A and B are shown apart, each in its own frame.
Chain A
Amino acid sequence: MNYKKVIWKRKPLIKNRLLRIGLILLISTYLLSVFLTTEIDWQRILEGIPRGKIFIFAFFPPDFITRSDEILAGIFESLWMTIVATIVGILISIPVSLGAAKNIAPKFVYFLSRGVITLSRSFQEVILAIFFVKLMGFGPFAGMVTLSLSTIGFFAKLLSEDIEDINKSQAEAIKSTGSSWFQWVNYGVQPQVMPRFIGLSLYRLDINFRESAVIGIVGGGGIGSTLNTAFDRYEFETAAAVLIVIISIVMIVEYTSSHLRKLIK
Protein backbone atom coordinates (compact mmCIF):
# COMPACT_ATOMS: atom_id res chain seq x y z
CA MET A 1 0.00 0.00 0.00
CA ASN A 2 1.04 3.48 -0.69
CA TYR A 3 0.96 5.92 2.11
CA LYS A 4 0.81 9.50 1.18
CA LYS A 5 2.82 11.40 3.68
CA VAL A 6 0.66 14.06 5.27
CA ILE A 7 2.34 16.93 7.00
CA TRP A 8 0.34 19.40 9.05
CA LYS A 9 1.24 23.00 8.69
CA ARG A 10 0.00 25.90 10.68
CA LYS A 11 -2.46 28.08 8.83
CA PRO A 12 -0.95 31.40 7.78
CA LEU A 13 -2.13 34.44 9.73
CA ILE A 14 -3.55 36.16 6.68
CA LYS A 15 -5.41 33.80 4.37
CA ASN A 16 -5.23 35.78 1.15
CA ARG A 17 -1.82 35.13 -0.40
CA LEU A 18 -1.78 38.34 -2.43
CA LEU A 19 -2.60 40.43 0.61
CA ARG A 20 0.12 38.66 2.60
CA ILE A 21 2.84 39.34 0.06
CA GLY A 22 1.57 42.86 -0.51
CA LEU A 23 1.72 43.62 3.22
CA ILE A 24 5.26 42.28 3.50
CA LEU A 25 6.34 44.40 0.51
CA LEU A 26 4.60 47.46 1.93
CA ILE A 27 6.27 47.07 5.31
CA SER A 28 9.71 46.54 3.83
CA THR A 29 9.43 49.59 1.56
CA TYR A 30 8.30 51.61 4.57
CA LEU A 31 11.25 50.42 6.65
CA LEU A 32 13.64 51.13 3.77
CA SER A 33 12.29 54.66 3.30
CA VAL A 34 12.56 55.30 7.04
CA PHE A 35 16.13 54.09 6.96
CA LEU A 36 16.97 56.32 4.00
CA THR A 37 15.34 59.48 5.33
CA THR A 38 16.58 59.28 8.90
CA GLU A 39 19.95 60.85 9.50
CA ILE A 40 21.93 59.12 12.17
CA ASP A 41 25.13 60.78 13.24
CA TRP A 42 27.36 57.88 14.25
CA GLN A 43 30.18 60.23 15.18
CA ARG A 44 27.94 61.94 17.71
CA ILE A 45 26.76 58.63 19.13
CA LEU A 46 30.36 57.49 19.65
CA GLU A 47 31.04 60.74 21.44
CA GLY A 48 27.92 60.29 23.53
CA ILE A 49 28.71 56.81 24.79
CA PRO A 50 31.20 57.98 27.44
CA ARG A 51 28.59 60.50 28.60
CA GLY A 52 26.01 57.74 28.77
CA LYS A 53 28.45 55.69 30.83
CA ILE A 54 28.98 58.61 33.21
CA PHE A 55 25.23 58.90 33.56
CA ILE A 56 24.70 55.22 34.26
CA PHE A 57 27.55 55.15 36.77
CA ALA A 58 26.02 58.21 38.42
CA PHE A 59 23.33 55.85 39.71
CA PHE A 60 26.02 54.18 41.86
CA PRO A 61 25.75 56.01 44.17
CA PRO A 62 23.20 58.70 43.35
CA ASP A 63 23.71 62.03 45.06
CA PHE A 64 20.71 62.78 47.24
CA ILE A 65 22.57 65.14 49.55
CA THR A 66 24.11 68.04 47.66
CA ARG A 67 20.81 69.33 46.31
CA SER A 68 18.53 67.72 48.88
CA ASP A 69 16.71 71.01 49.56
CA GLU A 70 15.85 71.45 45.90
CA ILE A 71 14.77 67.83 45.51
CA LEU A 72 12.50 68.01 48.55
CA ALA A 73 11.03 71.34 47.51
CA GLY A 74 10.41 69.97 44.01
CA ILE A 75 8.65 66.86 45.25
CA PHE A 76 6.38 68.74 47.62
CA GLU A 77 5.53 71.26 44.94
CA SER A 78 4.65 68.39 42.60
CA LEU A 79 2.46 66.85 45.27
CA TRP A 80 0.55 70.07 45.99
CA MET A 81 0.14 70.63 42.28
CA THR A 82 -1.15 67.11 41.75
CA ILE A 83 -3.71 67.28 44.56
CA VAL A 84 -5.09 70.68 43.64
CA ALA A 85 -5.12 69.95 39.91
CA THR A 86 -6.91 66.63 40.36
CA ILE A 87 -9.62 68.20 42.53
CA VAL A 88 -10.12 71.21 40.26
CA GLY A 89 -10.04 69.02 37.16
CA ILE A 90 -12.65 66.66 38.55
CA LEU A 91 -14.91 69.55 39.60
CA ILE A 92 -14.83 70.88 36.03
CA SER A 93 -15.20 67.38 34.57
CA ILE A 94 -18.49 66.66 36.36
CA PRO A 95 -20.64 69.11 34.34
CA VAL A 96 -18.71 68.26 31.16
CA SER A 97 -19.29 64.53 31.62
CA LEU A 98 -22.99 65.10 32.29
CA GLY A 99 -23.09 67.11 29.09
CA ALA A 100 -21.22 64.43 27.15
CA ALA A 101 -23.63 61.64 28.13
CA LYS A 102 -26.09 60.97 25.33
CA ASN A 103 -28.93 59.91 27.62
CA ILE A 104 -28.89 63.09 29.70
CA ALA A 105 -27.85 66.03 27.57
CA PRO A 106 -29.64 67.63 24.63
CA LYS A 107 -27.89 67.33 21.24
CA PHE A 108 -26.38 70.81 21.30
CA VAL A 109 -24.78 70.42 24.74
CA TYR A 110 -23.64 66.93 23.80
CA PHE A 111 -21.61 68.08 20.81
CA LEU A 112 -20.19 71.03 22.72
CA SER A 113 -18.97 68.82 25.56
CA ARG A 114 -17.57 66.21 23.16
CA GLY A 115 -15.66 69.01 21.42
CA VAL A 116 -14.17 70.13 24.74
CA ILE A 117 -13.09 66.56 25.48
CA THR A 118 -11.50 66.02 22.06
CA LEU A 119 -9.61 69.29 22.28
CA SER A 120 -8.30 68.49 25.74
CA ARG A 121 -7.22 65.03 24.63
CA SER A 122 -5.39 66.08 21.45
CA PHE A 123 -2.73 68.18 23.12
CA GLN A 124 -0.13 66.61 25.32
CA GLU A 125 0.31 68.09 28.78
CA VAL A 126 3.69 69.48 27.80
CA ILE A 127 2.30 71.51 24.89
CA LEU A 128 -0.49 72.92 27.05
CA ALA A 129 2.07 73.72 29.73
CA ILE A 130 4.18 75.77 27.32
CA PHE A 131 1.22 78.00 26.60
CA PHE A 132 0.04 78.35 30.18
CA VAL A 133 3.56 79.16 31.33
CA LYS A 134 3.60 81.85 28.66
CA LEU A 135 0.22 83.21 29.74
CA MET A 136 0.53 82.99 33.52
CA GLY A 137 4.23 83.10 34.23
CA PHE A 138 6.58 80.44 35.54
CA GLY A 139 5.69 78.37 38.55
CA PRO A 140 3.29 75.80 39.91
CA PHE A 141 0.11 77.74 39.11
CA ALA A 142 0.60 77.31 35.35
CA GLY A 143 1.37 73.63 35.94
CA MET A 144 -1.76 73.23 38.02
CA VAL A 145 -3.96 74.80 35.33
CA THR A 146 -2.39 72.51 32.70
CA LEU A 147 -2.98 69.38 34.72
CA SER A 148 -6.57 70.35 35.55
CA LEU A 149 -7.40 70.97 31.91
CA SER A 150 -5.88 67.71 30.75
CA THR A 151 -7.74 65.90 33.52
CA ILE A 152 -11.00 66.93 31.83
CA GLY A 153 -10.31 65.02 28.62
CA PHE A 154 -9.53 61.81 30.46
CA PHE A 155 -12.02 62.00 33.31
CA ALA A 156 -15.05 63.37 31.47
CA LYS A 157 -14.65 60.89 28.62
CA LEU A 158 -14.57 57.82 30.84
CA LEU A 159 -17.19 59.08 33.30
CA SER A 160 -19.63 60.02 30.54
CA GLU A 161 -19.32 56.49 29.13
CA ASP A 162 -20.27 55.17 32.56
CA ILE A 163 -23.20 57.58 32.82
CA GLU A 164 -24.47 56.35 29.47
CA ASP A 165 -24.47 52.80 30.86
CA ILE A 166 -26.60 53.47 33.94
CA ASN A 167 -29.67 51.46 34.79
CA LYS A 168 -32.55 53.47 33.35
CA SER A 169 -35.29 52.11 35.59
CA GLN A 170 -33.59 53.38 38.72
CA ALA A 171 -33.28 56.84 37.26
CA GLU A 172 -36.88 56.74 36.07
CA ALA A 173 -38.08 55.72 39.52
CA ILE A 174 -36.57 58.88 40.94
CA LYS A 175 -38.09 60.94 38.17
CA SER A 176 -41.54 59.50 38.85
CA THR A 177 -41.47 60.85 42.39
CA GLY A 178 -41.57 64.31 40.87
CA SER A 179 -37.95 65.21 41.49
CA SER A 180 -36.33 68.25 39.97
CA TRP A 181 -33.45 67.80 37.50
CA PHE A 182 -30.78 68.25 40.18
CA GLN A 183 -32.52 65.83 42.52
CA TRP A 184 -32.77 63.38 39.66
CA VAL A 185 -29.01 63.57 38.95
CA ASN A 186 -28.17 63.47 42.65
CA TYR A 187 -30.39 60.50 43.62
CA GLY A 188 -30.88 58.66 40.33
CA VAL A 189 -27.57 58.95 38.49
CA GLN A 190 -24.85 59.81 40.99
CA PRO A 191 -25.14 56.71 43.24
CA GLN A 192 -24.85 54.48 40.19
CA VAL A 193 -21.64 55.97 38.87
CA MET A 194 -19.99 56.57 42.26
CA PRO A 195 -17.73 53.46 42.33
CA ARG A 196 -16.33 54.27 38.89
CA PHE A 197 -16.02 57.91 39.89
CA ILE A 198 -13.80 57.11 42.87
CA GLY A 199 -11.74 54.62 40.86
CA LEU A 200 -11.14 57.14 38.09
CA SER A 201 -10.19 59.89 40.54
CA LEU A 202 -7.52 57.72 42.13
CA TYR A 203 -6.25 56.67 38.74
CA ARG A 204 -6.05 60.25 37.56
CA LEU A 205 -4.25 61.30 40.74
CA ASP A 206 -1.61 58.75 39.85
CA ILE A 207 -1.34 59.98 36.23
CA ASN A 208 -1.22 63.62 37.28
CA PHE A 209 1.73 63.01 39.55
CA ARG A 210 3.61 61.34 36.73
CA GLU A 211 2.82 64.20 34.36
CA SER A 212 3.81 66.80 36.92
CA ALA A 213 7.34 65.45 36.63
CA VAL A 214 7.34 66.44 32.97
CA ILE A 215 5.68 69.82 32.82
CA GLY A 216 8.40 71.17 35.07
CA ILE A 217 10.79 70.80 32.15
CA VAL A 218 9.00 73.61 30.30
CA GLY A 219 8.65 75.81 33.39
CA GLY A 220 5.54 74.47 35.08
CA GLY A 221 7.17 73.98 38.47
CA GLY A 222 7.52 70.82 40.50
CA ILE A 223 10.10 68.04 40.47
CA GLY A 224 10.51 68.38 36.70
CA SER A 225 12.22 71.74 37.09
CA THR A 226 14.64 70.21 39.59
CA LEU A 227 15.42 67.45 37.10
CA ASN A 228 15.88 69.87 34.24
CA THR A 229 18.19 72.09 36.28
CA ALA A 230 20.28 69.06 37.23
CA PHE A 231 20.64 68.10 33.58
CA ASP A 232 21.54 71.63 32.55
CA ARG A 233 24.30 71.69 35.16
CA TYR A 234 25.52 68.24 34.03
CA GLU A 235 25.02 67.07 37.62
CA PHE A 236 24.12 63.54 36.63
CA GLU A 237 24.40 62.26 40.21
CA THR A 238 21.62 64.61 41.27
CA ALA A 239 19.57 63.78 38.17
CA ALA A 240 19.88 60.08 39.01
CA ALA A 241 18.70 60.79 42.54
CA VAL A 242 15.69 62.73 41.24
CA LEU A 243 14.81 59.90 38.84
CA ILE A 244 15.01 57.34 41.65
CA VAL A 245 12.77 59.50 43.82
CA ILE A 246 10.23 59.86 40.97
CA ILE A 247 10.22 56.11 40.27
CA SER A 248 9.75 55.18 43.90
CA ILE A 249 6.97 57.71 44.51
CA VAL A 250 5.17 56.60 41.35
CA MET A 251 5.48 52.99 42.51
CA ILE A 252 4.06 53.84 45.94
CA VAL A 253 1.21 55.91 44.48
CA GLU A 254 0.40 53.26 41.90
CA TYR A 255 0.47 50.46 44.44
CA THR A 256 -1.77 52.29 46.92
CA SER A 257 -4.19 53.50 44.28
CA SER A 258 -4.60 50.05 42.73
CA HIS A 259 -5.00 48.58 46.22
CA LEU A 260 -7.63 51.19 47.11
CA ARG A 261 -9.45 50.59 43.84
CA LYS A 262 -9.61 46.88 44.61
CA LEU A 263 -10.93 47.64 48.10
CA ILE A 264 -13.70 49.85 46.71
CA LYS A 265 -14.75 47.25 44.16
Chain B
Amino acid sequence: MPIIKQKDYKTWKKFDRKRDLQNWLCWFLGTLIFSFCFGLISSKTIWFYVFDSHNEALDLLGRMFPPETNYFFTLIKPIWDTLNIATIGTTIGTLIAIPLAFLSANNTTPSKKFIRPLALFCIVSSRSINSVIWALLLVAVVGPGVLAGIIAIGLRSIGFCGKLLYEAIEEIDENQIEAIEATGANKAQIMTFGIVPQILPAFTSISIYRWDINIREATVVGLVGAGGIGIELDAQIGDLAWAKVSVILLTIVVAVVFSEWITAKIRKAII
Protein backbone atom coordinates (compact mmCIF):
# COMPACT_ATOMS: atom_id res chain seq x y z
CA MET B 1 0.00 0.00 0.00
CA PRO B 2 1.95 2.98 -1.19
CA ILE B 3 1.53 6.36 0.38
CA ILE B 4 2.21 9.26 -1.86
CA LYS B 5 3.57 12.50 -0.55
CA GLN B 6 2.38 15.61 -2.23
CA LYS B 7 3.86 18.91 -1.10
CA ASP B 8 2.40 19.05 2.39
CA TYR B 9 -0.02 16.13 2.79
CA LYS B 10 0.00 12.35 2.30
CA THR B 11 -2.58 10.41 0.35
CA TRP B 12 -3.22 6.69 0.01
CA LYS B 13 -3.39 4.91 -3.32
CA LYS B 14 -4.34 1.35 -4.06
CA PHE B 15 -1.29 0.57 -6.19
CA ASP B 16 2.17 2.02 -6.57
CA ARG B 17 3.34 3.68 -9.71
CA LYS B 18 4.75 0.57 -11.41
CA ARG B 19 1.60 -1.47 -10.83
CA ASP B 20 -0.52 1.46 -12.01
CA LEU B 21 1.46 1.59 -15.21
CA GLN B 22 1.11 -2.16 -15.73
CA ASN B 23 -2.62 -2.01 -15.19
CA TRP B 24 -2.94 0.86 -17.57
CA LEU B 25 -0.94 -1.04 -20.20
CA CYS B 26 -3.17 -4.10 -19.81
CA TRP B 27 -6.31 -2.04 -20.21
CA PHE B 28 -4.79 -0.30 -23.23
CA LEU B 29 -3.86 -3.58 -24.90
CA GLY B 30 -7.26 -5.07 -24.07
CA THR B 31 -9.08 -2.12 -25.58
CA LEU B 32 -6.84 -2.29 -28.63
CA ILE B 33 -7.57 -5.99 -29.20
CA PHE B 34 -11.26 -5.44 -28.59
CA SER B 35 -11.55 -2.59 -31.05
CA PHE B 36 -9.48 -4.44 -33.62
CA CYS B 37 -11.73 -7.49 -33.42
CA PHE B 38 -14.87 -5.40 -33.37
CA GLY B 39 -13.66 -3.53 -36.44
CA LEU B 40 -13.26 -6.80 -38.32
CA ILE B 41 -16.73 -7.92 -37.32
CA SER B 42 -18.26 -4.60 -38.18
CA SER B 43 -16.68 -4.67 -41.65
CA LYS B 44 -18.71 -7.80 -42.34
CA THR B 45 -21.94 -6.41 -40.97
CA ILE B 46 -24.67 -4.63 -42.83
CA TRP B 47 -25.45 -1.96 -40.27
CA PHE B 48 -28.75 -1.02 -41.85
CA TYR B 49 -30.23 -4.34 -40.71
CA VAL B 50 -28.78 -3.98 -37.23
CA PHE B 51 -30.17 -0.49 -36.70
CA ASP B 52 -33.50 -1.66 -38.04
CA SER B 53 -33.59 -4.69 -35.74
CA HIS B 54 -35.77 -3.11 -33.03
CA ASN B 55 -38.57 -2.56 -35.54
CA GLU B 56 -38.12 -6.10 -36.73
CA ALA B 57 -38.23 -7.39 -33.14
CA LEU B 58 -41.46 -5.50 -32.40
CA ASP B 59 -42.98 -6.84 -35.59
CA LEU B 60 -41.95 -10.37 -34.66
CA LEU B 61 -43.38 -10.07 -31.15
CA GLY B 62 -46.61 -8.78 -32.62
CA ARG B 63 -46.84 -11.85 -34.82
CA MET B 64 -46.01 -14.17 -31.92
CA PHE B 65 -48.88 -12.97 -29.73
CA PRO B 66 -51.33 -14.35 -29.02
CA PRO B 67 -49.75 -17.84 -29.10
CA GLU B 68 -51.76 -20.52 -30.88
CA THR B 69 -52.47 -22.61 -27.78
CA ASN B 70 -54.24 -25.46 -29.62
CA TYR B 71 -50.99 -26.20 -31.37
CA PHE B 72 -49.57 -27.50 -28.09
CA PHE B 73 -51.35 -30.84 -28.52
CA THR B 74 -49.42 -31.65 -31.68
CA LEU B 75 -46.23 -31.01 -29.72
CA ILE B 76 -46.74 -33.89 -27.30
CA LYS B 77 -45.05 -36.47 -29.53
CA PRO B 78 -42.00 -34.23 -30.23
CA ILE B 79 -41.62 -33.54 -26.50
CA TRP B 80 -41.75 -37.28 -25.80
CA ASP B 81 -39.07 -37.76 -28.48
CA THR B 82 -36.93 -35.01 -26.95
CA LEU B 83 -37.18 -36.63 -23.53
CA ASN B 84 -36.21 -39.99 -25.02
CA ILE B 85 -33.26 -38.53 -26.90
CA ALA B 86 -31.96 -37.01 -23.67
CA THR B 87 -32.59 -40.07 -21.48
CA ILE B 88 -31.42 -42.84 -23.82
CA GLY B 89 -28.55 -40.67 -25.03
CA THR B 90 -27.37 -40.09 -21.48
CA THR B 91 -27.63 -43.81 -20.72
CA ILE B 92 -25.56 -44.77 -23.76
CA GLY B 93 -23.06 -42.01 -23.09
CA THR B 94 -22.47 -42.98 -19.46
CA LEU B 95 -22.26 -46.69 -20.29
CA ILE B 96 -19.46 -46.02 -22.79
CA ALA B 97 -17.86 -43.46 -20.48
CA ILE B 98 -17.35 -45.99 -17.65
CA PRO B 99 -14.74 -48.22 -19.35
CA LEU B 100 -13.10 -45.17 -20.92
CA ALA B 101 -12.82 -43.54 -17.49
CA PHE B 102 -11.18 -46.67 -16.05
CA LEU B 103 -8.76 -46.76 -18.96
CA SER B 104 -7.78 -43.12 -18.55
CA ALA B 105 -7.56 -42.81 -14.77
CA ASN B 106 -3.94 -42.83 -13.62
CA ASN B 107 -4.44 -45.51 -10.97
CA THR B 108 -6.53 -48.01 -12.95
CA THR B 109 -5.20 -47.73 -16.50
CA PRO B 110 -3.57 -50.89 -17.84
CA SER B 111 -0.84 -48.95 -19.62
CA LYS B 112 0.12 -45.36 -19.00
CA LYS B 113 2.13 -44.98 -22.17
CA PHE B 114 -0.19 -46.38 -24.77
CA ILE B 115 -3.82 -46.82 -23.69
CA ARG B 116 -4.19 -43.78 -21.44
CA PRO B 117 -3.41 -41.15 -24.11
CA LEU B 118 -5.70 -42.97 -26.53
CA ALA B 119 -8.60 -42.97 -24.06
CA LEU B 120 -7.94 -39.32 -23.20
CA PHE B 121 -7.99 -38.45 -26.88
CA CYS B 122 -11.42 -40.09 -27.24
CA ILE B 123 -12.68 -38.09 -24.27
CA VAL B 124 -11.31 -34.78 -25.55
CA SER B 125 -12.57 -35.18 -29.10
CA SER B 126 -16.03 -36.11 -27.86
CA ARG B 127 -16.01 -33.01 -25.67
CA SER B 128 -14.81 -30.57 -28.28
CA ILE B 129 -17.44 -31.38 -30.90
CA ASN B 130 -20.81 -29.90 -30.04
CA SER B 131 -23.85 -32.17 -30.11
CA VAL B 132 -25.34 -30.21 -33.01
CA ILE B 133 -22.27 -30.99 -35.10
CA TRP B 134 -22.43 -34.64 -34.04
CA ALA B 135 -26.08 -34.60 -35.10
CA LEU B 136 -25.16 -33.02 -38.43
CA LEU B 137 -22.71 -35.88 -39.06
CA LEU B 138 -25.10 -38.58 -37.96
CA VAL B 139 -28.04 -37.30 -39.96
CA ALA B 140 -25.85 -37.78 -43.02
CA VAL B 141 -25.07 -41.34 -41.96
CA VAL B 142 -28.19 -42.84 -40.32
CA GLY B 143 -30.74 -40.47 -41.82
CA PRO B 144 -32.92 -37.86 -40.12
CA GLY B 145 -34.85 -38.99 -37.05
CA VAL B 146 -34.72 -39.73 -33.38
CA LEU B 147 -31.94 -42.32 -33.72
CA ALA B 148 -29.44 -39.75 -35.01
CA GLY B 149 -30.31 -37.51 -32.06
CA ILE B 150 -29.85 -40.30 -29.53
CA ILE B 151 -26.44 -41.25 -30.90
CA ALA B 152 -25.36 -37.60 -31.13
CA ILE B 153 -26.30 -36.88 -27.53
CA GLY B 154 -24.69 -40.16 -26.47
CA LEU B 155 -21.41 -39.40 -28.22
CA ARG B 156 -21.30 -35.90 -26.78
CA SER B 157 -21.98 -37.18 -23.24
CA ILE B 158 -19.06 -39.64 -23.32
CA GLY B 159 -16.47 -36.90 -23.02
CA PHE B 160 -18.20 -34.99 -20.26
CA CYS B 161 -19.02 -38.04 -18.11
CA GLY B 162 -15.70 -39.69 -18.87
CA LYS B 163 -13.70 -36.67 -17.78
CA LEU B 164 -15.54 -36.13 -14.51
CA LEU B 165 -15.60 -39.85 -13.78
CA TYR B 166 -11.90 -40.45 -14.28
CA GLU B 167 -11.15 -37.50 -12.03
CA ALA B 168 -13.36 -39.16 -9.41
CA ILE B 169 -11.54 -42.48 -9.87
CA GLU B 170 -8.18 -40.80 -9.39
CA GLU B 171 -9.34 -39.40 -6.05
CA ILE B 172 -10.42 -42.70 -4.44
CA ASP B 173 -9.13 -43.93 -1.10
CA GLU B 174 -6.30 -46.45 -1.73
CA ASN B 175 -6.61 -48.01 1.75
CA GLN B 176 -9.95 -49.56 0.93
CA ILE B 177 -8.51 -51.17 -2.17
CA GLU B 178 -5.61 -52.54 -0.16
CA ALA B 179 -8.07 -54.02 2.31
CA ILE B 180 -9.93 -55.81 -0.46
CA GLU B 181 -6.63 -56.93 -1.95
CA ALA B 182 -5.60 -58.40 1.39
CA THR B 183 -8.56 -60.79 1.30
CA GLY B 184 -7.11 -62.32 -1.86
CA ALA B 185 -9.49 -60.72 -4.31
CA ASN B 186 -8.69 -60.78 -8.00
CA LYS B 187 -8.64 -57.72 -10.30
CA ALA B 188 -12.35 -57.89 -11.16
CA GLN B 189 -13.31 -58.27 -7.52
CA ILE B 190 -11.16 -55.30 -6.52
CA MET B 191 -12.97 -53.32 -9.16
CA THR B 192 -16.49 -54.25 -8.04
CA PHE B 193 -15.92 -54.25 -4.27
CA GLY B 194 -13.13 -51.68 -3.88
CA ILE B 195 -13.52 -49.04 -6.53
CA VAL B 196 -17.15 -49.07 -7.66
CA PRO B 197 -18.73 -48.35 -4.24
CA GLN B 198 -16.41 -45.38 -3.86
CA ILE B 199 -17.28 -43.75 -7.17
CA LEU B 200 -20.97 -44.61 -7.20
CA PRO B 201 -22.12 -41.32 -5.62
CA ALA B 202 -20.01 -39.31 -8.06
CA PHE B 203 -21.31 -41.43 -10.92
CA THR B 204 -24.98 -40.84 -10.08
CA SER B 205 -24.58 -37.12 -9.63
CA ILE B 206 -22.60 -36.83 -12.88
CA SER B 207 -25.21 -38.71 -14.88
CA ILE B 208 -28.08 -36.70 -13.41
CA TYR B 209 -26.23 -33.47 -14.13
CA ARG B 210 -25.56 -34.59 -17.70
CA TRP B 211 -29.22 -35.56 -18.14
CA ASP B 212 -30.21 -32.01 -17.21
CA ILE B 213 -27.79 -30.60 -19.78
CA ASN B 214 -28.93 -33.12 -22.37
CA ILE B 215 -32.57 -32.01 -22.10
CA ARG B 216 -31.43 -28.59 -23.29
CA GLU B 217 -29.23 -30.02 -26.00
CA ALA B 218 -31.97 -32.38 -27.19
CA THR B 219 -34.16 -29.35 -27.94
CA VAL B 220 -31.70 -28.19 -30.59
CA VAL B 221 -30.41 -31.33 -32.32
CA GLY B 222 -33.70 -31.34 -34.22
CA LEU B 223 -32.70 -28.14 -35.99
CA VAL B 224 -30.39 -30.19 -38.20
CA GLY B 225 -32.96 -32.98 -38.53
CA ALA B 226 -32.11 -35.25 -35.62
CA GLY B 227 -35.55 -35.56 -34.04
CA GLY B 228 -37.33 -33.99 -31.12
CA ILE B 229 -38.92 -30.60 -30.69
CA GLY B 230 -36.20 -28.91 -32.74
CA ILE B 231 -37.68 -30.36 -35.94
CA GLU B 232 -41.01 -28.67 -35.19
CA LEU B 233 -39.22 -25.41 -34.38
CA ASP B 234 -37.30 -25.52 -37.63
CA ALA B 235 -40.45 -26.34 -39.61
CA GLN B 236 -42.57 -23.59 -38.04
CA ILE B 237 -39.84 -20.97 -38.46
CA GLY B 238 -39.57 -22.08 -42.07
CA ASP B 239 -43.35 -21.59 -42.44
CA LEU B 240 -43.09 -18.18 -40.69
CA ALA B 241 -45.83 -19.43 -38.33
CA TRP B 242 -44.68 -17.23 -35.45
CA ALA B 243 -47.77 -17.83 -33.29
CA LYS B 244 -46.78 -21.51 -33.24
CA VAL B 245 -43.11 -20.72 -32.68
CA SER B 246 -43.97 -18.85 -29.48
CA VAL B 247 -45.80 -21.95 -28.20
CA ILE B 248 -42.71 -24.05 -28.90
CA LEU B 249 -40.44 -21.57 -27.13
CA LEU B 250 -42.71 -21.49 -24.08
CA THR B 251 -42.74 -25.29 -24.04
CA ILE B 252 -38.95 -25.38 -24.13
CA VAL B 253 -38.66 -22.95 -21.22
CA VAL B 254 -41.14 -24.99 -19.19
CA ALA B 255 -39.35 -28.25 -20.04
CA VAL B 256 -35.96 -26.84 -19.07
CA VAL B 257 -37.17 -25.37 -15.79
CA PHE B 258 -38.98 -28.65 -15.06
CA SER B 259 -35.87 -30.75 -15.71
CA GLU B 260 -33.83 -28.45 -13.48
CA TRP B 261 -36.41 -28.86 -10.72
CA ILE B 262 -36.46 -32.65 -11.07
CA THR B 263 -32.66 -32.97 -11.01
CA ALA B 264 -32.51 -30.79 -7.91
CA LYS B 265 -35.11 -33.06 -6.24
CA ILE B 266 -33.32 -36.29 -7.18
CA ARG B 267 -29.97 -34.93 -6.06
CA LYS B 268 -31.44 -34.00 -2.69
CA ALA B 269 -33.05 -37.42 -2.32
CA ILE B 270 -29.82 -39.28 -3.09
CA ILE B 271 -27.25 -37.19 -1.28
Chain A residues with CB under 8 Å of chain B are: 10, 30, 34, 37-41, 44-45, 47-49, 51-52, 55, 76-77, 79-81, 83-84, 87, 118-119, 121-124, 126-127, 130-131, 134-137, 139-141, 144, 187, 210-211, 213-214, 217-218, 221, 227-228, 231, 243, 246-247, 250-251, 254
Contacts and interface: CB of A to CB of B under 8 A. Distances in A.
A80 B41 contact: yes
B132 A127 contact: no
Contacts of A127: 219-220, 223, 233, 249, 252
Contacts of A87: 30, 34
A201 B147 CA distance: 36
Given A40-B145, A247-B129, 10 more contacts: A38-B84, A40-B146, A45-B147, A47-B143, A52-B142, A83-B34, A123-B249, A136-B50, A137-B49, A231-B140
Determine chain A's interface SS by DSSP, over half rule: helix
Contacts of B9: none
B44 A124 contact: no
A144 B217 CA distance: 20
28 contacts: A34-B84, A37-B81, A38-B146, A40-B146, A41-B143, A44-B142, A48-B141, A48-B142, A55-B137, A77-B41, A80-B37, A80-B38, A81-B41, A121-B256, A122-B252, A122-B253, A122-B257, A124-B219, A126-B132, A130-B237, A141-B41, A141-B44, A213-B130, A217-B136, A231-B136, A231-B140, A247-B128, A254-B128
Interface residues of B, number: 55
Contacts of A130: 223, 237
Interface-central residue, B14, B44, B237, by most chain A CB under 10 Å: B44
A71 to B, nearest CB: 15
Interface string B121-146: 00011011110110011001111011
B141 to A, nearest CB: 4
A34 B34 contact: no
A251 B129 CA distance: 11
B69 interface: no
